Amino acid sequence: MMDVLMPRLSDSMEEGTILQWLVEDGGTVARGEELCEIETDKAAMTYEADTDGIVHHVAAAGDTLPIGAVIARLLAEGEAPPAPDAATTAPPEAAAGSAGNDAASPASAVATTPAPAGEAAVRDGGGSGNGTTRVKASPLARRIARERDLDLAALSGTGPNGRIVKADVEAASSNGNGSTPAAPATSDAAVSPATASPVAGAKGDVTVETLTRGQKVVARRMAEAKATVPEFTLQATIDMEEAVALRAQLKAVAGEDRPTPSYNDMIVKACALALREFPRANGSYRDAEYHLYSRVNVGIAVAADDGLVVPTVFDADTLSLGAIAAEARRLAGRVRDGSVTPPELSGGTFTVSNLGMYGVTNFTAIVNPPQAAILAVGALAPRAVVRDGALVARQTMDVTLTSDHRILNGADAARFLARIRALLEAPLALVL
């Protein structure tokens, strides 16, 4: 008998929700075959069996469990499952302290949440063995349906075997179909009666919005960062005149088949090269130790419908500027259509957050633990500067580096930021 544990599918994951079992209770599965669909704080993905066996469900579809909790057991032929009182879903101690993972240790208690609204009415025959059936729908379709308060049971699927896919949900949403939204679940914290039924006062009527799982994780991690990371900030103004000229040349020769690198792509490349020269900026502080990483993986903050998502450009220091441009566009597209996967959101060693497209001149970003630093990028605009004793207009950009003082001191961070500025002011180094 082999225990199947709730896997860690992203750096920030602390628990996961079983969306559906793809192998019924008592069914057989081979190594590498899809076993179930699991939703994390960032995305939903299919989990594959590590070995052959007969599947015995320990957790049901809709259950939310911490990392390391037992979700199923794989039995040998003729082997009987253990008695219910012997089964436990508590995560092993080893899972709470696994080395090399960036997320906080999971809680030892098992949390459960009800199935999302619109998913309990109709279910397909193969399921958790609890006498119910489950809507056949892709994880992305489920997510969009939850966000738009649509009843999946009322929809017809056009996917394989009648499976409801993204297009079906979007079509129903545009046609105004769907059931009356159910009251939002509050698995993490109960809403007081006064909050659940607010009375109009001096501030007017109150509308209560329940956070999504991703929003809850972001809120918690940002609060933890402000409470635990002794951060400091450094600001610099970068002369982007040469970068603007270089981008114009790249645009002229790129053609229609290849994307023209954006200024943000140049910033990602400059940061990646600088990170290679300053290992601590590419590391993290963990329990009185410096963890320095061999790979330079730059996260790029992308605004999604329900919050900020940070996909990762892996090995950005070794990629060409054109490859970074293509990968950044691919990742941003997957974030916006909801198809980004946990591996694409994990493994970042540094983050770039750019609000320049909104006209923001400068701002301070919060360090994304356990990373050592984050670069906040403001708008690129012509400004009056002095060159050779004369006042001229130059394309400039303000940036702010927020650093964890436990691993980067002021001088180290200043040299790192100066290197980024030098690479952007002489950008030919970015394409060599």
Catalytic residue positions, numbered:
405
CB 88 within 8 A of CB 70: yes
Beta bridge partners of 392: 385
CB atoms within 10 A of CB 205: 8
Cis omega (within 30 of 0) on the bond before 370? yes
The sign of the CA dihedral 407, 409, 411, 413 is positive
To which residue do tokens 């999302």 refer?
A: 116
Return the SS3 of 91. coil
Return the closest-CA partner of residue 58 out of 39, 35, 33, 41: 35
Q: What are phi and psi of 203, to 5 degrees?
A: -90, 0
Q: Where are the beta strands (DSSP E) in 103-252?
A: 231-239
Residue 361 has which token pair?
A: 């001149």
CB 379 within 8 A of CB 361: yes
Pairing of strands 350-354, 298-300: parallel
Return the SS3 of 368. coil
Question: Mind giving me the DSSP string for 264-330?
Answer: HHHHHHHHHHHHHH-GGGGEEEETTEEEE-SS--EEE-EEETTEEE--EETTTTTS-HHHHHHHHHH
Return the closest-CA partner of residue 57 out of 95, 84, 93, 91: 84
- Residue 197 CB contacts under 8 Å (≥ 6 apart), including other chains: none
Q: What are phi and psi of 221, to 5 degrees?
A: -70, -35
CA atoms of 383 and 361, how far apart (whole Å)? 12
Beta bridge partners of 395: 382
CA atoms of 193 and 208, how far apart (whole Å)? 12
